[in-house]
Amino acid sequence: MAARKSIEQMHESHWEAHERVEATSEFRAWIAGEATETGSTIETRDPAIDYPVTEVTACDEGAVDAAVDAGWEAYEGAWGATDPAERGRLLFEWADRLRSHTDELALLETVDTGKPIAHARGEVEGAIDTLEYYASLARDQSGDQIQTGDDLHLYTREEPYGVVGQIVPWNFPTWGAAWKFGPALAAGNACVLKPSAQSPLTAIRIAELSAEVFPDGAINVVPGTGAETGAALTDHAGVRKLSFTGSTTVGSTVMHDAADTITPVTLELGGKSPFIVFPDADLEKAVDAVASGIFYATGEICDAFSRALVHEDVIDEFTDRFVETAESYVIGDPLDEETTLGPLTSRDQYEKVTEYIEIGKAEATLLTGGGRPAGDGLENGWYVEPTVFGDVTNDMRIAREEIFGPVQTIIEFATYEEAIEIANDTEYGLAAGIGTERTDLVHHAAADIDAGLVYVNEYGPIRPEAPYGGFKDSGIGKDLGREALDHYRRTKSVYVNLGSPSL
């Protein structure tokens, strides 16, 4: 269903929001603790009405050089001199400052991505929670003493890399930035972060809100395109570690670039995640989990449950319930609190998703959706109805390729072995879900599924305490958890030979 609002009302509310956005910041690059212009800009557009929001500084190779230099100056100076306890205190201070700007940041996220305001607010809160987790973890860092003979004292030190380069995607710009900044700063690195050209506003703003909290140069944000700004960052010899979140295709390019400078990488990439509905599943819970897993963020999420694998005994009932749930989503103005499904983030993504829907119509059975919603006021936005395909087999393109939109496929299975085989028959391995009331099925399936995340009877939550990342083409390494902290540190072994204690 669609929230009713005239096109005039939609435009008026969004133009007012744009005025508030422009009053917030000039949205320049953030380098060495100050807003920086380059003479070049990029336009960010509001996907709900396909209208420009504001212009943002675009960084060239020279600006990236300046940001990396600023990072090294900070690392070799005031920021590098901080101890873990002080880093934790500063992260807490930054998180407190961001919390006081929650509504402002949520508005930026909504007009930049089309994300419903209630969801945007929750994600800003999730970003703050992530920073607070790493603030708590900062002082809980240690090395190891290795037992040897009496003539040797052998221990390890965990040290930061220095300056790290980080690239975040357009679908979760605030939360994604916190996932990068939190562990990197807690470990003692200086950061150069590139937000997506499609949704750069919140990353710039949270960097501005770090002013006078961190030493200048500890946090740098360089907006711009992947081809220019991203390439300058991944090619840079002064960047000692790279962390990238985005598509598998671009992640492969980042990895090739990093190879030239022998730079270690963390990659969080695409997915085609299954949710297995076993015959004993509570169908109400399973339907809600799968719907949340494909329609939250309009399906623009890497761990989306885009393949529902349903046992033959319950597939008819599951499908009926799922279609009903899909049709209950409130499609409308993302600035309205009651909206539960906003537009896709860009024209390019809209064209990609609608092309896949046409492919799906030729391959499978369209059960609901498949077009633009008919609600008033939505004509100019990049809206796609929640779409569900039945009679899908796992060899179809809509079951194998990442669509990144609100498009669900329902696939039938008969045995446990078949369910696991279908679930693992993909180049991706980011996430999976299990719907069952049986403990033995939970633990066996969780072990047998080849994915880095397994959700049981729910979609989420994502907690900063747990590592997040996938297998196979879904990436290398982890965001979140203690493991992410380890990705931003190097281990040094120190051998101290001891003489005789005699006087």
Res 1: pLDDT: 60
Tally of CA atoms within 13 A in the half-sphere of 265 that contains its CB: 23
DSSP 468: B
Is 302 among the catalytic positions?
yes
CA angle in degrees (0–180, nearest 5) for 435-269-381: 85
List the chain residues with pLDDT less than 70: 1-4, 375
Pair 331, 341: CB distance under 8 Å: yes
Pair 111, 14: CB distance under 8 Å: yes
Q: What is the dihedral of CA 465, 162, 63, 58, to 10 degrees?
A: -10
Residue of 104, 268, 385, 402 marked catalytic: 268
User: What's the CA gap between 56 and 358, in Å, rounded?
Assistant: 35
Question: For the chain, which residues make up each domain, given as ranges?
Answer: 7-269+477-489, 274-463
Res 234: pLDDT: 97
Report pTM: 0.96
| Per-residue pLDDT tens over the stretch 14-24 | 999 999 999 99
Which amino acid makes up residue 54? T
DSSP 226: I
User: What's the CA gap between 129 and 92, in Å, rounded?
Assistant: 10
Res 9: pLDDT: 87
| Per-residue pLDDT tens over the stretch 358-392 | 999 999 999 999 999 976 789 899 999 999 999 99
**Residue 395 CB: number of other CB atoms within 10 A?**
9
Res 2: pLDDT: 56
Which CATH number is correct for 274-463, 3.40.309.10, 3.30.1330.20, 3.20.20.70, 3.40.50.300? 3.40.309.10
Is 437 among the catalytic positions?
no
Pair 278, 310: CB distance under 8 Å: no
H or E element in which residue 489 lies:
strand 489-497
> What fold does the segment set 7-269+477-489 form as a domain?
Aldehyde Dehydrogenase; Chain A, domain 1 (3.40.605)
| Per-residue pLDDT tens over the stretch 431-455 | 999 999 999 999 999 999 999 999 9
Res 232: pLDDT: 97
Residue of 158, 300, 302, 412 marked catalytic: 302
Helix (H, G, I), strand (E, B) or coil at 293: helix
Res 371: pLDDT: 93
Strands 145-146 and 428-429: unpaired
Res 503: pLDDT: 76
